[in-house]
Amino acid sequence: MFRQPHDFFHPVSPLTDGRQARPDTEAFLIAILEAIPDPLFIKDQHHRWITVNDAFCELVGQARENLLGKTDYDFFPKSQADRFWQQDELAFQQGKTEQEEELTNTQGLTHILLTKKTVLTQVALQQSAEYRELAAREARKSQELQETLQQLRQTQTNLVQAEKMSSLGQMVAGVAHEINNPVSFIYGNVEHCRDYVSDLLRLVKLYQKYCPQSQPEIEELIQEIDLDFIIEDLPQLLNSMQVGAERIRDIVKCLRTFSRLDEAEMKAVNLHENIDSTLRILEHRLKPQPHHPPIQIIRDYGNLPLVECYAGQLNQVFMNLLVNAIDAIEEKQHSLTLEDRQKAKDHINIITGIDNNQVKICITDTGLGIKEENISRIFDPFYTTKPIGKGTGMGLAISYQIVVEKHCGKLYCDSKLGSGTQFVIEIPIDQHQETTSGRFQT
């Protein structure tokens, strides 16, 4: 005979409308009973066992199938069964009881038990169901709150990014304007300077032709300044100055094209000019570097019409995609030997064309590619495969929003690990038609 201080016996009353408990409720209760190591049971209003756990079966010394549907009188002496019956009735009247009692099981073992009996009424079962429903509602609210928080974080990041890009556009436009003034002055006067120098050189040659005998002092100066070299080199020098001025003008034009970032209106633009302006800004990253050879740009431009779009925002998309392509190639180059880098001949291929009234722009790199399991997530906010400090995870997310939401287009990726990556932009040629059809969202 031994004492078990925490055995719990729970008789149950019938449902008030005569129905049985729902199967899902019963399964829920059974799962709880089996998870508790102490002996537990549930009885109906006729004192029959309807549910018992393994610990109770072991205590009584009977299998579960032998106990279900039976009463205490089927297994215990009548005096002991009478006592259990009276305690059950008291529990039904009071709602719950707690007392010590002696139990002799079918194998002759006697136990001293501290028992607690609680009545499970229809109200209790209903409250349990209501609690689970409340928990489910709270879980749904928590999920909605998480989604709202995520949207707020994305909106905040978009606003910060938009402000940065707007400030960048204003700065670039200002710098381009300040550079354009002196460059225009230089470029405009180089041609006049060329004409003046040409006239002076013709005059010198005439002097040499008709006055071959000059004074010793003049001859000495001719030898000192190397007049023949000046006559030959000065036109080339002026040509170089003109080419340099034209190059600066071209860079300024690209900066002014890219500075459309702060334009809010939709305008018809030449997308090739926008792509070229972005490439010019990134030109320093395409040149040879100590750790990699130059990255070649292959342009395969189709015959595109002027396209109505938010030019500044598309410039931002081109910038994000081209920077990602350059990063992918540089990451690949870091893993190669110097000899393999030279053989790789890495490049970025840009193809444009028209497909079913859609402008299609494909930007393909020869980088490492993207793992298949990552492709479905690359447009998610804050998701990045770049090392810490090299990416915020918002570039592609913002690009996707600009193409899909602002231009009613598509932005998708095709990549295979080890074989490079291709990003494809598709936007309608006629945004007005998309707007009037109701498919265009801003």
Q: Quick one: pLDDT at residue 301?
A: 94
CA–CA distance, 234 with 240 (Å, rounded to integer)? 10
**Do the beta carbons of residue 379 and residue 400 sit within 8 Å?**
yes
**Do the beta carbons of residue 115 and residue 98 sit within 8 Å?**
yes
Per 3-state DSSP, the chain is made up of helix, strand and coil in percentages (nearest 5) of 55, 20, 25
| 113 shares its domain with 176 | no
CATH number, domain at 100? 3.30.450.20
**Do the beta carbons of residue 408 and residue 431 sit within 8 Å?**
yes
CA–CA distance, 311 with 427 (Å, rounded to integer)? 12
Q: Tens-of-pLDDT digits for all 442 residues of the chain?
A: 333 444 444 444 344 344 444 445 556 666 776 777 888 888 888 888 888 888 888 888 888 888 888 888 888 888 888 888 888 888 888 878 888 878 887 777 888 888 888 876 655 555 555 656 766 777 788 788 887 877 777 666 666 555 555 555 556 666 666 677 777 777 778 888 888 888 888 888 888 888 877 788 888 888 888 888 888 888 888 888 877 777 777 777 666 666 554 455 678 889 998 898 888 888 888 888 777 788 899 999 999 999 888 887 888 889 889 988 998 888 888 877 777 777 768 899 999 999 888 899 999 998 888 888 788 778 776 666 665 555 556 678 888 888 988 889 999 999 888 888 999 999 998 766 554 444 333 3
| 281 shares its domain with 384 | yes
Q: In the β-sheet with 49-52, what is the strand arrangement from edge to edge? A: 10-11, 41-43, 49-52
Dihedral over Cα of 200, 201, 203, 204: its sign: positive
| 194 shares its domain with 312 | no
Query: Is 77 domain-assigned?
Result: yes
- From residue 425, how far is each of 26, 240, 363, 365, 414 by CA, in Å? 56, 40, 8, 15, 12
Query: Is 30 domain-assigned?
Result: yes
CATH number, domain at 343? 3.30.565.10
Q: Quick one: pLDDT at residue 4?
A: 41
DSSP, collapsed to helix, strand or coil, labels residue 127 as helix
**Domain count of the fold of the chain:** 3
**Do the beta carbons of residue 332 and residue 420 sit within 8 Å?**
no
Q: Which residues contact 78 (CB under 8 A, 6 or more apart)?
A: none
Dihedral over Cα of 139, 142, 146, 148: its sign: positive
**Do the beta carbons of residue 402 and residue 316 sit within 8 Å?**
yes
Query: Is 310 domain-assigned?
Result: yes
| 211 shares its domain with 97 | no
| 82 shares its domain with 150 | no
Written as one string, the DSSP assignment of 393-436 is S-HHHHHHHIIIIITS-EEEEEE-TTS-EEEEEEEES-HHHHHH
Domain span at residue 401? 263-442
CA–CA distance, 39 with 7 (Å, rounded to integer)? 5
| 221 shares its domain with 346 | no
| 183 shares its domain with 56 | no
| 27 shares its domain with 106 | yes
DSSP, collapsed to helix, strand or coil, labels residue 336 as coil
Q: Please, what's the largest Cα pairwise distance for the chain?
A: 154
| 329 shares its domain with 419 | yes
Residue linked to tokens 């040409």: 198
Q: Quick one: pLDDT at residue 6?
A: 40
DSSP, collapsed to helix, strand or coil, labels residue 96 as strand
Identity of the amino acid at 243: V
| 271 shares its domain with 418 | yes
For residue 94, report the phi and psi dihedrals to the nearest 5 degrees: -95, -15
**Do the beta carbons of residue 372 and residue 294 sit within 8 Å?**
no
28: nearest Cα among 131, 137, 97: 131
- From residue 293, how far is each of 29, 118, 337 by CA, in Å? 70, 81, 12
Query: Is 272 domain-assigned?
Result: yes
| 428 shares its domain with 289 | yes
pTM of the model: 0.46
Dihedral over Cα of 43, 48, 53, 59: its sign: positive
The length of the chain is 442
Written as one string, the DSSP assignment of 266-312 is -EEE-HHHHHHHHHHHTHHHHS-BTTB-PPEEEEE---PPPEEE-HH
| 315 shares its domain with 415 | yes
